[in-house]
């Protein structure tokens, strides 16, 4: 459902977006959930089109009832991902001199978490996710020229991150009737410094003599994660259909980011490079007859979702790209002699990212997930 989750509450899957949902898992259940994605992205800029293919690990999580009214969850998720390699050329004025700028980046941050949800009293649950973040990145920008009088310059940026992340959640479920209920959910992600240094190395090569001049600069404690606020609501009718809406706000605009000052050539923390990011998500699920033993298609969960997100950074004086996404998929029940609650989840997602006079990206992604819903803790009765 394109990332819908703040107001979703079910004991049949692990909802890591709101840790208060963990308290919904029943005392007989052990949940395992894992997924991956395959994607094709088309990049378009000034009439040039390029396609790129890749695959990503999405998540591996588990959840079970720890104590009465307490649910526990743990798992591994990707937090950020960097991967690009491109170049472009341009002429200097009316001369025949041409420069080529090549950009390369790789790395990312991983997230391992443990979370707990507590059903305080009828209808109200609270929860917390405590995460460990680790990873590194390396980016390079190289400028070369066909003119032997013009030096070649390479700038390399890198950092290694090891820190924590805390997310708090709340959900309130209100029964409207025997078969109808709505859930209101809210989350807060605590923003803080990551304690990681940003390092830049600059190499200037004299194209005529081959002499290399190198320098390096470091900004200490350069990176932060923003305060994040999220809220959502969902309405469910029996086991037949569900609709929901989410909104989230990331306060990136309050944070500075390291950048080389064009005048002094110093690597400094700079304000105004980032901006607050808002995201709106709407989605729904429909199951014709969840317990129809004669028609398999009636037991399938049909899902649809869409989202719109504003940019969280500026490019010069221009806002970064906005993101529009639409997804559709199926939750296919897996039946055997012992289990009728596991699902194979398949979805297709289209994402359009664009801004005025910048690269346009269209990504088509296939997501595949398996939810193992096992009755590990059911007691056997011998007659």
Provide the CATH number for the domain around residue 87.
Answer: 2.40.160.60
Distance linking the first and last C-alpha atoms of the chain: 45
Q: Report how far apart, in Å, the C-alpha atoms of 380 and of each of 28, 44, 244, 262, 373 are.
A: 12, 60, 38, 72, 18
Asked whether the beta carbons of 227 and 191 are under 8 A apart, the reply is yes
Residue 176: inside a domain, yes or no?
Answer: yes
Identify the pLDDT of residue 152. 86
* pLDDT surpassing 90 at residue 43: no
Structure tokens at 61: 């999580």
Structure tokens at 43: 């990049």
Contacts of 45 (CB under 8 A, 6+ apart): 358, 359, 360
Identify the pLDDT of residue 347. 95
* Token pair 């007691």: residue: 379
What is the percent of the chain where pLDDT is above 90?
A: 59
Residue 3: inside a domain, yes or no?
Answer: no
The helix (run of H) or strand (run of E) holding residue 205 is strand 198-205
Identify the pLDDT of residue 290. 80
Structure tokens at 73: 């969850």
Identify the pLDDT of residue 56. 83
Identify the pLDDT of residue 170. 97
Residue 381: inside a domain, yes or no?
Answer: no
Identify the pLDDT of residue 131. 97
In this prediction, residues 317-346 reach a mean pLDDT of: 83
What is the percent of the chain where pLDDT is above 70?
A: 95
Structure tokens at 143: 């400028």
φ, ψ for residue 83 (rounded to 5)?
A: -165, 105
Residue 7: inside a domain, yes or no?
Answer: no
Residue 338: inside a domain, yes or no?
Answer: yes
**Least-confidence region, from 19-33, 138-152, 306-320:** 138-152
Identify the pLDDT of residue 383. 63
Identify the pLDDT of residue 145. 81
Could you read off the pLDDT of 180-221 as tens digits, one per residue? 999 999 999 999 999 999 999 999 887 777 777 888 999 999
Q: Report how far apart, in Å, the C-alpha atoms of 358 and of each of 39, 80, 288, 364 are.
A: 21, 22, 44, 20
303-327 in b/e form (b: 16+ CB < 10 A) is bbbbbebbbbeeeeeebbbebebeb
Long-range pairs of 43-50 with CB within 8 A, sequence gap ≥ 24: 43/359, 43/360, 43/361, 44/359, 44/360, 44/361, 44/362, 45/358, 45/359, 45/360, 50/86
Q: Tell me which residue range forms the domain holding 111.
A: 19-374
* pTM for the whole structure: 0.89
Residue 47: inside a domain, yes or no?
Answer: yes
Structure tokens at 15: 């909802």
Q: Which residues lie across from 280 on neighbouring strands?
A: 247, 308
* Token pair 């491109």: residue: 86
Identify the pLDDT of residue 340. 61
Domains of the chain: total:
1
Residue 315: inside a domain, yes or no?
Answer: yes
Residue 9: inside a domain, yes or no?
Answer: no
């Amino acid at each position: 459902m394109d990332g819908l989750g703040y107001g979703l509450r079910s004991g049949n899957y692990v909802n890591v977006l709101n840790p208060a949902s963990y308290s919904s898992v029943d005392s007989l259940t052990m949940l395992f959930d894992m997924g991956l994605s395959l994607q094709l992205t088309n990049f378009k800029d000034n009439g040039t089109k390029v396609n790129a293919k890749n695959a990503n690990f999405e998540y591996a999580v588990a959840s079970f009832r720890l104590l009465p009214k307490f649910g526990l969850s743990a798992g591994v998720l990707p937090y950020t991902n960097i991967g690009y390699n491109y170049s472009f050329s341009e002429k200097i004025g009316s001369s025949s001199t041409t420069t080529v700028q090549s950009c390369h980046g790789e790395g990312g941050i991983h997230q391992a978490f443990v979370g707990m949800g507590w059903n305080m009293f009828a209808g109200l649950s609270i929860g917390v996710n405590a995460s460990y973040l680790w990873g590194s990145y390396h980016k390079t920008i190289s400028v070369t020229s066909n003119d032997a009088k013009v030096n070649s310059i390479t700038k390399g940026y890198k950092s290694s991150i090891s820190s924590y992340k805390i997310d708090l959640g709340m959900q309130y479920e209100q029964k409207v009737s025997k078969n109808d209920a709505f859930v209101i959910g809210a989350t807060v992600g605590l923003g803080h410094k990551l304690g990681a240094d940003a390092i830049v190395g600059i190499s200037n090569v004299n194209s005529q003599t081959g002499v290399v001049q190198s320098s390096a600069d470091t900004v200490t404690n350069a990176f932060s994660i923003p305060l994040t606020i999220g809220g959502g609501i969902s309405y469910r009718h029996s086991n037949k259909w569900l609709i929901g809406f989410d909104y989230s706000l990331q306060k990136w605009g309050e944070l500075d980011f390291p950048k080389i000052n064009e005048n002094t050539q110093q690597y400094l923390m700079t304000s105004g490079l980032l901006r607050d990011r808002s995201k709106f998500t709407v989605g729904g699920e429909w199951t014709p007859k969840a317990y129809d033993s004669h028609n398999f298609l009636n037991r399938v969960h049909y899902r649809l979702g869409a989202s719109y997100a504003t940019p969280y950074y500026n490019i010069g004086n221009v806002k970064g790209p906005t993101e529009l996404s639409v997804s559709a998929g199926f939750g296919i029940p897996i039946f055997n002699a012992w289990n009728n609650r596991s699902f194979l989840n398949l979805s297709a997602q289209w994402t359009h990212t664009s801004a005025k006079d910048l690269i346009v990206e269209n990504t088509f992604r296939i997501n595949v997930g398996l939810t193992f819903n096992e009755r590990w803790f059911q007691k056997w009765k011998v007659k």
